[in-house]
């Protein structure tokens, strides 16, 4: 199907992450510099080596807390001389910055691309409680083709949309609240071992069931935790990555497909775009789901993690409920550890790139108390609704 899989020529050579605050006392740029400079040093590089910059979605709304720093600001502040840079909202979700950066390297435009993602919603929500609401991003934008159909129906947050998916999954497959709860409980148990995590106190099934309903069947503890943070990774040409201090983590396959309408409601409500992205990824590799030793799966809402488990064929379609039931399979010592840093439900909404950072930490054996058994392949998946992207990462 594919003559050449270009992403195989690209590797992750370094990672960095700022503090994760709720809120942080640092500015968005300070958080970004903390993460980026750490990643550059981790890769054994200097600023002069960086010839590409990529992020998602970029600063497309004058410093909005969802993405307050874009490539232009970072390039200017770091004094970089780049051959390519990019950032923009339309693409396969939060991993778009990684995918675009990898393609720039594979096309010969760059040798080392700095990919970053900064978010400061915790600070903004101190003065604007609707800072992360979907309508806050769409109301008043008369030229928004898609959102004009949602906001009249009182779509106030992502929870309203994700609840549709969850309710349909419950209806189609018999998924139960107790099964859904295991995503939140597992993330909290993992977060307890992550010094940067926002929430580290123990969480019980009783606590979960007692948390208030936000949009049936999603409770408060099914929703991710807003924070201030920046995460950065260095993508390098594979041959160049071999010269660095870290064993290269190769991008073995990318999933970015969208074979249906870009819509939050006119799609397969029990799979979303996750299936398209996952199918594309597996078509670009000789590896199989059985080769995956851990998974960092988007948990902006807990139901999304379960859908990614199915889409990536880590369990059969419709069986994510029984698969996660009891939590043993997805725990750190289980057959498929997930969201080992606490995910976004407890670790903090680092929004996409945090999963890549954790995947690399696991593959390099840096995860400390939350380190899972040695493995050479992990999967990262991010996005919900019509936004979906995935990466298969391999440490040879």
pLDDT in tens, 370-379: 999 989 999 9
Tokens representing 386 are: 């019509």
- pLDDT 10s digits, 314-333: 999 999 999 999 999 999 99
pLDDT above 90 (res 217):
yes
CATH of 6-120+224-394, one of 3.30.70.20, 3.40.47.10, 1.20.810.10, 3.30.465.10: 3.40.47.10
CA distance 277 to 171: 24
64 pLDDT tier (thresholds 50, 70, 90): confident
| Residue pair 391/98 in contact by the 8 Å Cβ criterion | yes
Name the residue with higher pLDDT: 130 or 230. 230
Q: Give the mean pLDDT of the chain.
A: 93
Q: Can you tell me the mean pLDDT for 386-394?
A: 96
How do strand 52-55 and strand 84-87 relate by DSSP bridges?
Answer: parallel
- pLDDT 10s digits, 332-347: 999 999 999 999 999 9
CA distance 14 to 227: 23
Name the residue with higher pLDDT: 159 or 299. 299
DSSP for 331-345? STTSSS-B-TT-III
DSSP 8-state symbol, 192: T
Q: What is the pLDDT of residue 144?
A: 61
Out of 33-42, 230-239, 254-263, which region has the weakest mean confidence (pLDDT)? 254-263
Q: What is the pLDDT of residue 141?
A: 44
DSSP for 163-185? HHHHHHHHHHH---HHHHHHHHH
Out of 16-20, 176-180, 259-263, 360-364, which region has the weakest mean confidence (pLDDT)? 259-263
1 pLDDT tier (thresholds 50, 70, 90): low
CB-count burial class (<10 Å; 0-12, 13-18, 19+) for 384: buried
pLDDT above 90 (res 125):
no
Phi, psi for residue 213 in degrees, rounded to 5: -75, 130
């Amino acid at each position: 199907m594919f003559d050449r899989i270009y992403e195989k020529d690209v590797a992750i050579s370094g990672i960095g992450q700022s503090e994760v605050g709720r809120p942080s006392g640092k500015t968005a740029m300070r958080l970004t510099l903390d993460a980026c400079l750490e990643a550059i040093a981790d890769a054994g590089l200097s600023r002069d080596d960086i010839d590409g910059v990529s992020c998602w979605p970029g600063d497309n709304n004058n410093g909005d807390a969802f993405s307050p720093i874009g490539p232009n600001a970072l390039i200017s502040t770091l004094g970089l001389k780049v051959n390519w840079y990019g950032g923009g909202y339309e693409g396969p979700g939060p991993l778009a910055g990684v995918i675009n950066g990898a393609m720039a390297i594979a096309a010969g435009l760059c040798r080392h691309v700095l990919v970053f993602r900064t978010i400061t919603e915790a600070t903004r929500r101190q003065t604007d409680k609707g800072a992360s609401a979907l309508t806050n991003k769409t109301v008043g934008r008369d030229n928004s083709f898609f959102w004009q159909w949602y906001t009249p129906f009182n779509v106030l947050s992502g929870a309203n949309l994700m609840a549709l998916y969850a309710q349909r999954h419950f209806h189609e497959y018999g998924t139960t609240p107790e099964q859904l709860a295991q995503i939140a409980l597992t993330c909290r148990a993992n977060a307890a071992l992550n010094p940067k995590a926002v929430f580290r106190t123990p969480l019980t099934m009783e606590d979960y069931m007692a948390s208030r309903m936000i949009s049936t069947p999603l409770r408060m503890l099914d929703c991710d935790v807003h924070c201030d943070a920046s995460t950065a990774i260095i993508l390098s040409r594979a041959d160049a990555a071999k010269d660095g201090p870290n064993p290269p983590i190769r991008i073995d396959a990318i999933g970015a497909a969208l074979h249906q309408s870009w819509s939050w409601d006119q799609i397969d409500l029990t799979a979303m775009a996750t299936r398209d992205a996952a199918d594309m990824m597996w078509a670009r590799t000789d590896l199989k789901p059985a080769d995956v030793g851990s998974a960092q799966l988007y948990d902006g809402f807990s139901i999304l993690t379960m859908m990614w488990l199915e889409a990536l064929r880590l369990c059969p379609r419709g069986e994510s409920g029984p698969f996660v039931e009891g939590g043993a399979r997805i725990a750190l010592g289980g057959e498929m550890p997930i969201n080992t840093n606490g995910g976004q439900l407890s670790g903090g909404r680092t929004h996409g790139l945090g999963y890549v950072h954790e995947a690399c930490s696991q593959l390099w054996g840096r995860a400390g108390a939350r380190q899972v058994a040695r493995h050479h392949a992990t999967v990262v998946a991010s996005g919900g609704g019509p936004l979906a992207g995935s990466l298969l990462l391999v440490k040879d």
